[in-house]
Structure 1
Amino acid sequence: MTTQALETAALEVAGVSHRFGARAALSEVSLRVERGRFTALLGPNGAGKTTLFSVVTRLYNNQEGRVAIFGHVLNREPSRALARLGVVFQARTLDTDLTVEQNLLYHASLHGIARRAAKTRIAVLLDRVGLADRRGDKIRTLSGGQSRRIEIARSLIHEPRLLLLDEPTVGLDLESRADIVAIVRALVREEGLSVLWATHIFEEIEAGDDAVVLHKGRIVARGTAGSIAKPGETLEAAFRRLVAEPARQAA
């Protein structure tokens, strides 16, 4: 592997701005997700997290700035960039009238994966998320946490190397939340997956995680989660302090 390849981030967002009419949803946002790292994107509701995910996934074209996935600039090489990306959106998007396998086979077909290869891949992924025994069950019979695990499996069907998750544990009970976090952290640890995890739940973040704090469309802090907090300060207290400070103090 070349030095250049080693230095290329899984995701690089540089100077990205996006507006909805007169309202600035993102203002010169820059961040990196390093290869094989769990990066937390922290922000209150309305901070711009979902807008940023929409830009990175090309649901919105970035109006200013640059997005690159493993060195492939999104606006220049969208197919190559997006082929390396898996996404779990906040909104639930599984078809509840189809079985687990049918949902996953349909998604595999969108990526041009042959049916036999897709079935093999699905078996591996369902085992990974602990739901191999629910393959033939309809989605409507699953709990919220189980449905989320299927969405994670679906996002991995085409073997991406970067995974984006937008508030993936919202509305889940404590046990289901812990299961989702554990599955994703295992993917980072065991398979070298790069992850950008958007959340406002501080218990999901560890001190050694890379972290970015987004507030009103601007980055107000970045570093490891442990370094963002002052001595004796919890991450939650640091977050509340940061989002209360004027935007001119942004990192």
Structure 2
Amino acid sequence: MAIPALEIEGLRHSYGGDRYALEEVGFRVMPGAFTCLLGPNGAGKSTLFALATNLLRPTAGRIRIHGHDIATASGDALACMGVVFQQPTLDLDLTVTQNLHYFAALHGIGRREAQRRIEVELTRLSLFERRDEKVRALNGGHRRRAEIARALLHRPTLLLLDEPTVGLDIPARRKLIRHVHDLCTDDGIAVLWATHLIDEIDPVTDHVVVLHRGRVRASGPVSVVNAEAGCATVAESYDRLTAARPAAGVEAAA
């Protein structure tokens, strides 16, 4: 049986006191799967991303990336992971290529090999012709694509994207979603895509984790989640699953 690209067990996190931003969170993301972490603003999605990327340490629980425990083997775990955070992190006054070369150097990738990988990723994302433009000159969709290209340079097997379509228009959103699905299909990359937008979920191919008020309400293929919720669509399932009151001691967090 394949090792999960991401495995979370019994995850709890408190920012202080006896109230928890996350409570007993557990789910898996398998290689090649596009998994949507679905929840409203304040569900705990960004807290979970901070824990999964080792920016925060959990109060309890375990996170493994391809079998590597992020608490005890963080270097091996993080080497498997590419991340696109909700807030843009590109240097606006550097060109696209300069941003990517800087990232490659941090990962110990030689300049010649970095240049080759940059050309490949920018070409796949239809950005190669804009490689010498400063990021400041790009629109929101192009900046997001540049961030994804950067996140793929070290050839991760798990890609985390936190609300990656915020601020994008509908055509740009659709192109970005399609490209990331292609990464799963063509390259076998596992994806955890955090969103609060139902229409970003493919009801046929995607998996979904419904996170609400710090707890996982359901997880699995969309068809399974719908069947367990007794609903015909993921939108209906989401409404039903997030209507429940939170357990005592759980507090919403961003």
TM-score range, shorter chain: over 0.9
1:7 CA displacement = 2.9
Which residue number in structure 1 is paired with residue 181 of structure 2?
Answer: 185
- Residue type matched to 1:33 in 2? V
TM-superposed CA distance for 1:226, in Å, is: 2.5
Q: Determine helix, strand or coil for the equivalent of 1:168.
A: coil
Residue pair 1:100, 1:135 contacting (<8 A) in 2 also: yes
- Determine the C-alpha separation between the residues in 2 that align with 1:90 and 1:47: 15
Matches of 1:43 and 1:105, distance apart in 2:
35
| Structure 1: distance between partners of 2:96 and 2:25 | 37
Contact 2:50–2:56 (Cα < 8 Å) also in 1: yes
Q: Which residue is equivalent to 1:26?
A: 22
Task: Report the secondary structure of 1:165's partner residue.
Answer: strand
Where structure 1 has 5 or more consecutive residues not aligned to the other structure, the ranges are: 1-5
Which blocks of at least 5 consecutive residues in structure 2 are unaligned?
248-254
Residue 215 of structure 1 corresponds to: 212
Q: 1-side partners of 2:175 and 2:202: how far apart? A: 15
Alignment partner, residue 49 of structure 1: 45
Q: 2:9 aligns with which of 2, 14, 24?
A: 14
Deviation at 1:231, TM superposition (A): 5.9
Give the conservation status (yes or no) of the 8 Å contact 2:231–2:237.
no
> What SS class does the counterpart of residue 152 from structure 1 fall into?
helix
Matched, 1:246 2:245: yes
Aligned to 2:221: 224
Q: Deviations over 1:144-186 (max 9, x none)?
A: 0000000000101100000000010011100000011011011
Q: Which amino acid aligns with 1:227?
A: V
- Report the counterpart of residue 3 of structure 1 in structure 2: none
Match for residue 164 of structure 2?
Answer: 168
Q: Report the count of equivalent residues.
A: 243
Q: Partners of 2:111 and 2:77 in 1: how far apart?
A: 24
- Which segment drifts farther, 234-243 or 169-178? 234-243
Q: TM-score, normalised by structure 1?
A: 0.94
Contact kept, 8 Å, 1:86 with 1:156, in 2: the verdict is yes
Q: 3-state SS of the aligned residue for 2:87?
A: coil
**1:1-251 to 2 correspondence within 5 Å?**
6-22=1-17, 23-207=19-203, 208-229=205-226, 233-247=232-246
Higher relative contact order (CA 8 A, sep 6+): 2
User: 1:246 offset after TM fit, Å?
Assistant: 3.1
What letter corresponds to residue 233 of structure 2 in structure 1? T
CA distance in 1 between partners of 2:220 and 2:121 (Å): 32
State the distance in 2 between where 1:215 and 1:203 align. Answer: 18
Aligned Cα root-mean-square deviation (Å): 1.2
Q: 1:133 to 1:66 in 2, by over 3 A?
A: same
Counterpart secondary structure, 2:129: helix
CA contact (8 A) 1:220 1:247 kept: no
Q: In structure 2, what is the Cα distance between the partners aligned to 1:9 and 1:51?
A: 21
Q: Deviations over 1:103-126 (max 9, x none)?
A: 000011110111111111100000
